[in-house]
Amino acid sequence: MIIEKVIQGNFVERPNRFIVVFVPNHGKNEIAHLRDPGRLKELLIPNVKLLLRKAIPNPKRKTQYDVIAVFNQGIWVLINSGFHSDIAADLIESGMIKDISNYSIERREYTYGKSRIDFLLTNHENRKMLLEVKGCTLVESGLAT
């Protein structure tokens, strides 16, 4: 997975669940969309480093950036929940996760009762497995901190 147009900024505040105010390197406050509605109070503290990407221009969009990750305790922690699912899908399909290496993705965003589960997996014996992804950390990102 390649993320293009990445910039770094510093967190200022979070006025609501989906908006983050940050200061990019040029010093003028900007706003960014945060896809994770969780509280994240332990991660989003004043002046913490953020990774963001320039969003695809859209006249209906209120922000020009998306938050990708926050720097915490020496590592980049992904807080854009959309990336968690994409990275997990790549890992599942690659067979790199030993316990599920014989499964493939049958469906993403699978509805089970009143819940939506990240993945419905199937193996060659037609056995099914539900998989929910809960987070992702970039340990060796190669990014300067």
Tens digit of each residue's pLDDT (9 = 90 or more) over 82-109: 777 888 899 899 998 899 999 999 999 9
Asked if 57 and 108 sit in the same domain, the reply is no
CATH number where 108 lies: 3.40.1350.60
CATH number where 54 lies: 2.40.50.580
pLDDT of residue 87: 85
Q: Which one of 44, 78, 112 terminates a domain?
A: 78
Asked if 64 and 116 sit in the same domain, the reply is no
Q: Which one of 78, 104, 122 terminates a domain?
A: 78
Q: Which amino acid is at 140?
A: E
Containing structural domain, residue 28: 6-78
The answer, as to whether pTM is greater than 0.85, is no
Structure tokens given for 93: 């399909």
Based on the structure, what is the number of domains in the chain?
2
CA distance 56 to 98: 36
Task: Tell me the average pLDDT of the chain.
Answer: 87
Interacting residues of 5 by C-beta distance below 8 A, sequence separation 6+? 53, 54
Name the stretches of the chain with pLDDT < 50: 140-145
Would residue 11 count as lying in a domain? yes
Asked if 74 and 17 sit in the same domain, the reply is yes
3-state SS class at 137? strand
**Cβ contacts of 116-122, under 8 Å, gap ≥ 24:** 118/85, 118/88, 119/85, 119/88, 119/89, 119/92, 121/92
Would residue 68 count as lying in a domain? yes
Would residue 144 count as lying in a domain? no
